[in-house]
Structure 1
C-alpha cells in the first residue's frame, strides 16, 4: 500500500475534494480492473471516456478518483482529484507507484516513422552481446533480461511501461531500449520517465488518421526531444530534413548521423548484396548481415548510440558485424528453385519504397520482382493509393490483397489502392482478396531466380478481420507453400 499523496507527486492538481493522506492499493485507468481501495484515473480515449465510468469504479471500491472534471454526484469517503490532463497525471502516478524505475537504469527512446523496431531491438542485442543485462520495449516483444513477454502496443500505457521497468530493476537490467511512438508521446505515456537518450530515425507519411496533418505528426515527435533532460543525448538523422527540427529546443547534448550530409557520425556503403552490407564507419570497414540503405542508417544510429553510452569503438564495430536481422524486417528465404522471398513489415509509403529500392539495387534485372501488398483497415486511408503506386512503379508484377482489414471491407481497401496506379502500370497488377491465396499465387507465378516481396505484416502472427484475430504468419506461410510447390 502507498499513500495517495506520494503517488500524486509531480502531478499538476487543480482541485481536491477529500484527503490525499490515505493508503491506496493500486492505480487503474480501466474501470473493469478496479477493486477495493484502488485509484481510478478517468482517461478520455478515442473510443470511450473514462469519466463515464467513475460511478462504476466507485461502486467497485475505488477510494480515489482522478479526473478532468468532477462528477455531478460525489460520494462521501471518496477522494476526488481534478487535474488538467489525466493522461499526464497517469504517467506521473504510474512512475511514482512503481518507485520511478527509469531512474535506476539507462533508458533510451527510439522514435521516427521507420526503423524504430530494428534500432531498439538491435541495440538490445548488441548490449547483451557486450555482456550487459538489457531490457527492450518494442512492437515485437518486451524483454526483461532473459524473459520475453508479448507486446500489445508499440509504446504501452504508462502503468505497463513502469511495471516492466520495475521488473528490469529487480533483474539488475542496466540498459533499456524502447520504441517511442507518436501515439505514445501524444497520449503522454512517456511522461515521468527519465531518458538517458533519444534517437530520431526519419519522418514520412503515417498515422495522419490520428494526427490529421504532417506538421502535427512532426511536432509530436519533436516534443519528445524538447522534454529530454540536460544530461541526456539527442541523436538525429540529418539526412532527413526533419532531423534538425527535432533538435531546435532540446536541452540534451545534440548529436547527428548521416550517410549523405556532414554529421558527427557518418558511414559509406561500399557493398550492398543479399548476403549483407559492407560499410565504412569512422574510416573502419565493417561487414554486417543486414541489407539495404535503410539498414545502413539503422546500423549507424546503433553504432553512434553505443559510442554515446560508452562502448569502445572497436568493440562497437565488432558487435555490429554480429547483429542478426529482426523478425519480419527484410527476412528472406531462398527456395530450392532459387526463388528469393522477402517478408517485410513495410506498411508506409516510405518503408515500402525503401524495401523495393533495396531489392532493385541488388537484383540483376534478369529476374521478375513480384510484390504482394495490402493496407490495414481503420487506419490512414490517404496512404493506400500512394503505396499501390509505389508497388506498381517499382515491381514487375503486383498482387493487391488484404492486410488486417479490421472493420473495413477488404475489397473497398483494395479499390482505394488501385486508384493510385497509373494506367501504364495497371496491367502489372492483379487483385487476390484472400492473403494466403495471394501469397500462393505469387509463389506459383515465380520462376527460378525471381524475387517475391510480401509486404505489410512482417512479424505479425495474426490477421484481424471484423474484430476477430486468426493465426497468420507471412513468413511461416510462405515457407510451407514453397515446400509444397517444390514437391
Structure 2
C-alpha cells in the first residue's frame, strides 16, 4: 500500500526525507518489522518504542512514525505526529482497509461480565446460523482457531488485523471486550461499531485510573466511536448517567434495560436453582421468558443485552431461547465441577462486586457450607483487597486466602492487606 494512503488524515507535525513509498507491513514492535515496513513508535507504560527505532530499521523498516524528537538517518522516511497511539490506530485501520465498516462489530465495556456477554453472543448468533468471531480476555475465537489473549483489548494494529481476518473468514458479526485501559490507550479508535454495550462500573483498576470518575470517563470513550446502538444497564448508577448523557448528545439510539428502573426492556420473574435460572424480559410490544443454563442474577444482566441485540438484528426469540438454554460458560466463568458431595465452582471473580455476585449465587444454589478460596494479584489495585476480604468473610463459612499472581510483591503483604 502506498504511504500516502496509509497516513491519510493523520495529525502530522513534520516530514523528513518523505517519498510516497510502497509499504508491505506495519508494526509497533521492532521485532515484527520486515522488509518495507512502516514502524510506529508508541510510548508505553513500561517500554518506549522510540528506543527501538534503530532496531526496527535494521529489521527492514523504511519509514518511521514518531511523536518525540529523534535523530534522523538520510535514507529513512520520518513522519512526526502529535500522538503516535492515535496515528497507529488510524494507520492500522487504513492498512486493513477499514474492516469494521464491513462487519457488525459490537463492543462491551464494564467492570464485570464482558467475557460472558461475548461468549453468550457467539452462542446465540451461531445458533442463528451467523458466522461470528470474538475478541475476549480468554482469546481470539475465529472458527476453530483460538489465539490466546495477552490483554483484554488488543493493540489497535492487532485489533484491525483480527477484524480483517474475521471478514476474510466470512464472519458477519464480531464481538469484543473494550477495557478501560485499552480505551485510554486508543486501541479501539477508528473502529466502527454497530452496537456499544455498557454492563456496570464498580471498584477496579483504581491503581491505573486514580478514582471512579476517571474510570467512568475511560469507559465512556467507547461511546465516542461511530455506532448505531447504545445498550445500557441503568440499574448501575453510572449506566443511568451514561444513558442520560448519550440521549442529550443524540448521536445514537439508546436502549436501556433493568430489573429495578423504568427502561426500554424490563427484567422480571427472576428465579434460580440447581445452577440455572429463568427470567422474563418485557419491552415495547414484546415479552418472553428465558431459561439460562448458568446461575446468578449477574448473568441475567449479561444475557439481556445479548437478547436485545439479537432481537434488533432480526433473530427470533425461539432461536435465542434455544441457544441460551444450552450455553456453556467460558473458562473461569462459573464453571461447575461435581465431585462426590461437593459443587466446586471456578470463577474469575477478581473485583469486590464480582466476588459478592459469585457468593450470592452460591448461597442461592446450595444449602451446604460455602468454602471460599481466593487471592488478589500483586502490584494491582490495593484498595480492593480488604473490601474483598470482608465480602468473603461475611458470605462464607470458611475463607482460605491463597497465592495469586504476586508480580514481584511479597505474598505475605498481600495476605495482610486482604485480612
Q: Which TM-score band (shorter chain)?
A: over 0.9
1:293 equivalent in structure 2 = 297
Whole-Å separation in 2 of the counterparts to 1:289 and 1:313: 16
> How far does residue 315 in structure 1 lie from its aligned partner after superposition?
2.9
- Contact 2:152–2:177 (Cα < 8 Å) also in 1: yes
2:349 equivalent in structure 1 = 346
- Contact 2:296–2:358 (Cα < 8 Å) also in 1: yes
1:398 equivalent in structure 2 = 399
1:441 equivalent in structure 2 = none
What is the count of residue pairs matched by the alignment? 411
1:359 aligned to 350, 358, 362, which one? 362
- Contact 2:105–2:194 (Cα < 8 Å) also in 1: yes
> How far does residue 34 in structure 1 lie from its aligned partner after superposition?
2.2
2:264 equivalent in structure 1 = 264
- Contact 1:112–1:221 (Cα < 8 Å) also in 2: yes
- Contact 1:16–1:80 (Cα < 8 Å) also in 2: yes
Whole-Å separation in 1 of the counterparts to 2:270 and 2:357: 18
Listed as ranges, the matches of 1:196-207 within 5 Å are 196-207=194-205
- Contact 2:291–2:321 (Cα < 8 Å) also in 1: no
TM-score by length of 1: 0.82
Q: SS where residue 57 of structure 1 aligns?
A: helix
Q: SS where residue 61 of structure 2 aligns?
A: coil
Whole-Å separation in 1 of the counterparts to 2:295 and 2:224: 33
2:221 equivalent in structure 1 = 223
Q: SS where residue 230 of structure 2 aligns?
A: strand
Whole-Å separation in 1 of the counterparts to 2:179 and 2:19: 33
Q: SS where residue 236 of structure 2 aligns?
A: coil
The alignment yields a C-alpha RMSD, in angstroms, of 1.5
Which portions of structure 1, spanning 4 or more consecutive aligned residues, are displaced by more than 3 angstroms? none
1:274 equivalent in structure 2 = 274
Unaligned runs of 5+ in 1: 419-487
Q: SS where residue 246 of structure 1 aligns?
A: helix
Whole-Å separation in 2 of the counterparts to 1:272 and 1:265: 20
2:133 equivalent in structure 1 = 135
- Contact 1:197–1:228 (Cα < 8 Å) also in 2: no
1:330 aligns with 2:334: yes
Identify which range, 30-39 or 95-104, moves more after superposition.
30-39
Whole-Å separation in 1 of the counterparts to 2:19 and 2:314: 43
Whole-Å separation in 1 of the counterparts to 2:32 and 2:146: 24
1:15 equivalent in structure 2 = 14
Whole-Å separation in 2 of the counterparts to 1:61 and 1:148: 30
Q: Which has the larger radius of gyration?
A: 1
1:172 aligned to 170, 179, 192, which one? 170
Identify which range, 58-67 or 43-52, moves more after superposition.
58-67
Describe the superposition over 1:271-316 as per-residue Cα deviations: whole angstroms up to 9, x where unpaired: 2112410111223222221101101111111111111222233433
Listed as ranges, the matches of 1:23-172 within 5 Å are 23-71=22-70, 73-172=71-170
TM-score by length of 2: 0.94
Whole-Å separation in 1 of the counterparts to 2:5 and 2:46: 31
